[in-house]
């Protein structure tokens, strides 16, 4: 009896010790993860590689824990970054130029590109069998906010097709980004410029019809990139490299997997959207090459961005590529 008690007590101690070691191991693993506060400009399937990087554990494998928040607007996103409310921002590269032009002594640096085309689509209230851009003349066009990439690309494309956005149609730009879809649904405008999945949702519900892609029309541009303040980049070089590596892995995963697989990976970020619709949107973006396959923001894309801004009358000053873009990290990660 005493031997049995002795054996049981010893076994109990071993079990307790094993659980203690496991608990300590888990605690150590959790403590090793470095938290990164990431703010995105909006929640969109357009940013699929970002969600894949989180969902597939690419950030975690790099020792990073992502605290993701959504600002719903470029101005709000940049405010969060500049005020210290976020470490990294996913937003249009034009915002870094605006900050630099204001004389910031701590400029915002673009270090990893996520999307390389515009992500919006032209949606018509009525079904149009044979669409021509000339049909927008004399119409009411519900565009995006002034100074943002969607609006600038929108105007760039209209001018490309011989349409003066301020003379040839009624252009509405005073509606908040988040309220543009509801404004169109309530009857405002003949045409609207929308991101996905809202464009496809309207088409599915019979509220609108996708008739053209601004991304296809405008060419390659650093539409949304990951950026951080210069001071943060210098103080957290290792973290930024790990972050970029995780994004690159996600970009490659999205590029080599089917739209259905991508949709399955990111569906938790769009709980109110049908997975088949998510897959359709991913497929549309993949077909037009919207997802960058590596995080390098090259000089040609940067110059195209400034040309579009200049055409829209929104370029405060020409900024050299190397001043606000760091390609060394992305090039290192890609070359590994």
Tokens read off for 201:
């949702």
Name which of 10-24, 148-162, 180-194 the model is least confident about.
10-24
Q: How many CA atoms lie within 13 A of 201 on its CB side?
A: 17
* Spatial separation of the C-alpha atoms in residues 19 and 87, rounded to whole Å: 36
Whole-number Cα distances in Å, 134 to 11, 127, 131? 82, 15, 9
**Predicted confidence band at 4 (pLDDT cuts at 50, 70, 90)?**
very low
* Strand residues in 8-77 grouped as ranges (E): 34-40, 64-70
Residue 14 is predicted with a pLDDT of 43
Residue whose pair of structure tokens reads 């109110």 in the numeric block:
272
The domains found in the chain, sorted by start residue, are: 35-117+221-335 (3.40.190.10), 120-218 (3.40.190.10)
> pLDDT tens digits, residue range 74-116?
899 999 999 999 999 999 999 999 999 999 999 999 999 999 9
pLDDT at 147: 81
Question: Cα torsion at 231, 234, 235, 237 (round to 10°)?
Answer: 140
Averaged pLDDT score across all residues of the chain? 91
pLDDT score at 313 = 92
pLDDT at 24 over 80: no
Whether residue 20 is predicted with pLDDT greater than 90 in this model: the reply is no
Q: What is the mean pLDDT of residues 246-259?
A: 98
Confidence of residue 186 (pLDDT cuts 50, 70, 90): very high
The pTM assigned to this predicted structure is 0.85
């Amino acid at each position: 009896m005493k031997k049995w008690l002795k054996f049981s007590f010893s076994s109990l101690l071993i079990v307790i010790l094993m659980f203690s070691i496991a608990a300590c191991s888990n605690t150590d693993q959790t403590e090793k993860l470095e938290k990164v506060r990431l703010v995105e400009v909006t929640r969109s399937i357009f940013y699929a590689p970002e969600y894949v990087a989180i969902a597939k554990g690419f950030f975690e494998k790099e020792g990073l824990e992502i605290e993701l928040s959504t600002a719903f607007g470029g101005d709000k996103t940049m405010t969060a970054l500049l005020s210290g409310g976020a470490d990294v921002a996913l937003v249009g590269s034009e915002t870094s130029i605006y900050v630099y032009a204001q004389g910031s002594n701590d400029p915002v640096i673009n270090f990893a590109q996520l999307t390389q085309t515009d992500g919006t689509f032209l949606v018509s209230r009525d079904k149009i069998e044979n669409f021509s851009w000339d049909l927008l003349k004399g119409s009411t066009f519900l565009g995006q906010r002034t100074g943002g990439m969607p609006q600038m690309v929108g105007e760039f494309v209209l001018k490309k097709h011989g349409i003066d956005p301020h003379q040839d149609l009624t252009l509405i730009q005073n509606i908040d980004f988040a309220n543009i879809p509801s404004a169109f649904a309530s009857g405002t405008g003949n045409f609207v410029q929308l991101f996905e999945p809202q464009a496809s949702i309207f088409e599915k519900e019979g509220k609108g019809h996708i008739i053209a892609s601004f991304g296809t029309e405008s060419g390659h541009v650093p539409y949304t990139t990951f950026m951080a303040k210069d001071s943060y980049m210098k103080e957290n070089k290792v973290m930024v490299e790990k972050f970029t590596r995780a994004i690159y892995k996600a970009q490659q995963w999205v590029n080599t997997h089917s739209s259905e697989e991508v949709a399955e990976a990111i569906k938790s970020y769009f709980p109110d959207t049908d997975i088949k619709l998510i897959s359709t949107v991913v497929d549309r973006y993949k077909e037009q090459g919207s997802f960058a396959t590596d995080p390098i923001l090259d000089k040609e894309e940067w110059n195209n961005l400034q040309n579009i801004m200049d055409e829209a009358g929104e370029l405060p000053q020409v900024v050299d590529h190397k001043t606000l873009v760091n390609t060394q990290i992305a090039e290192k990660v890609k070359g590994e």
